[in-house]
Amino acid sequence: MGKQKIDEQQELHGFLTGENFYVQQILGLHEEDGKYVFRVWAPNAQKVWLVGDFNDWENTLLMEQDRDSGVWLIETTLPKQGDLYKFNVQRTDGTQIMKLDPFATRFETRPGTAAVIQSMGDKKWRDGLWRGRQKRSNHLKRPINIYEVHASSWRQKETGEPYTFHELKDHLIPYVKKMQYTHVEFMPLMEHPLGASWGYQLTGFFALASYYGTPEDFQEFVEACHLANIGVIVDWVPGHFCANEDTLPYYDGTPTFEYADSNRAKNRRWGVHNFDLGKPQVQSFLISSALYWIDTFHLDGIRVDAVSNMLYLDYDEGPWTPNHEGGNRNFEGYYFLQKLSSVLKQKHPNILLIAEESTSQTQITGPITTGALGFDYKWNMGWMNDILRFYQMDPIERKHHFHLVTFSFMYAFNENYLLALSHDEVVHGKKSLMHKMWGDRYKQFSQLRNLYAFMYAHPGKKLLFMGGEWGQFLEWKHDQGLEWVDLQDSFNYQMQIYTKHLNHLYKEQRALWEMEDSSTTIRWIDDSPEDSILAFIRQGHRKKDFLIIIVNLVPVERVNYPIAVPYEGEYEEILNTERATFGGTWEEGNPVCETTEQTMNAFSYQITPTIPALGVLYLRPKKIQIRKTEVKGGKEL
């Protein structure tokens, strides 16, 4: 809400045609010429009243409808700052129901759903240096390592109340910086009535959830992140909305925000309603919401949730209606997502657009001119499922299922992937990441270190959900803080040290991210299912800038194990996941490895390091000779 002068008819025409991407500047509540102006879109309502604290919630303020747009309007001087309000809608069947303002920027604390009249001033931002660097940077060739956070359960007060963003600024930012992450990503922060939805069943698409504090608090938080060189990403849900009757569903008594076809409108799996993504007004509403969050809070990225549900008509449970071609493609969703990415990239070329999408039927990343959706990154759900299945397996069986580790390399460059070990993998009886690992407690921590080292060496940006950095044993609970008491245990504390070290190493070693958008970043050394050893090269831009990655996936130490290398010289160990500092047993790592001239796997040289049981080694060239007549060994993907 702000003081402004607008061309009402022009703005409403843009809303009706789906081309107004700042529709919150006309709809909702505004101050204009010393009066409060309320507008709400309810095209088929019989009547709409403005009700609130200022008129004892009575039907005394009847709004007038603009027939062309279906928007109802009233101007009044009655309200004051801090008052609550709603719209009382008389629907097509004559019944009345109090509905929330879809464009409100503040709501009362849940379980209430009334909007709050509260002005928001213009912030004088101090993050220009950060934003300037992002404009000059190519994110595909930069490290991206995300710490995923559920804001109200990362840490809680003794009373069980969540920290507001004013408080998180002094606690979460120093932690993320200390742990060496490049970005923090929040599960949805928009207003929602049920904490058990984790924020994915939204009611206020333009409002920060009130229990997180004020919008000004979140602006200050983001600014502080940028001053600490940390990017901020927020999950956003344009596919569906909360089914509570006093929110968006059947707003005027008819399908307004949802599809007219009940098979498409009702989402049975999640108990929500699906947006009609082909309706111009809904497109304007949703794209305006995304831009509002990016503009108002200087976000560095948004992650679009549940993209598959927007792309495929049969994604939900139960009956579904085929499209006009008889297939399962949701054309409205497909074209909306292309429009969304096109508009956001036009307005903010450097914003990170990330999709949670679990199929391979649609190209998600890449330019829309090729038929893709225009996103920057796609969560690699196939890698996640395969790799977690493998690490839960008894090592005796792993040689028979080695494809679960290697298959992802075959498609690693089909999209721009983000490797995510997210909140979805540590709830609903799936066990925490540490608890998934095979074996006793020592072996579980060894394998968790192994998993993270393999993940960071695998092509793709990285994401880890909170608590995973120290191997929390218990599943995540949305209504409780993390088990910070775990850090009094030496294993958990050393695991946290390890993750911090690995994060730092990832940012420092250019070979791990510099050529991630090209298959030339990978060269295969050894794939030995019988020994359960995996070895490959991660290559940077410069020929000498590469790492040798060796992964041992069974609890058997491999002494003086031959590993082919491309150049003659010396190789030094920069990571050994079994070092005592990290909770392992190795007090010292491998000495510098010198090559012997021995043809192996089409390479001319080899080294013979000792590979720890359930351990991973990163080796880098210390002193090598690159000859023009070198054998170009190894298999590129």
Ordered DSSP codes for 337-351: HHHHHHHHHHH-TT-
Does residue 33 have an active-site annotation? no
Closest CA to 290 of 276, 308, 305: 305
Write the single-letter amino acid at 503: N
The neighbouring-strand residues paired with 39 are 28, 73
Q: Is the peptide bond before 111 cis (omega within 30 degrees of 0)?
A: yes
| Helix, strand, coil percentages, rounded to 5, for the chain | 30, 25, 45
Angle, to 10 degrees, between the axis of helix 215-227 and the axis of helix 165-178? 20
Alpha-carbon span 614 to 339, nearest angstrom: 47
Q: Which of 212, 250, 211 is nearest to 102 (CA)?
A: 250
Q: Which two tokens stand for residue 73?
A: 């309007």
Which DSSP string corresponds to 564-615? EESSEEEEEEEEETTBGGGTSSBSS-PPPEEPEEEEETTEEEEE-PPBPTT-
Selected catalytic residue, list 101, 356, 357, 425: 356
- Of these residues, 191, 223, 258, 305, which one is catalytic? 305
Q: CA-CA distances (angstroms) from residue 576 to 32, 362, 450, 490, 624?
A: 64, 39, 10, 18, 21
CB 465 within 8 A of CB 148: yes
How far apart are the C-alpha atoms of 546 and 621, rounded to whole Å?
A: 7
Antiparallel, parallel or unpaired: β 231-236 and 301-304: parallel
Question: Scanning the structure block, which residue is given the tokens 């925490």?
Answer: 432
- In the residue annotation, 305 being an active-site residue is answered as yes
Beta bridge mates, 65:
72
The catalytic residue positions are 305, 356
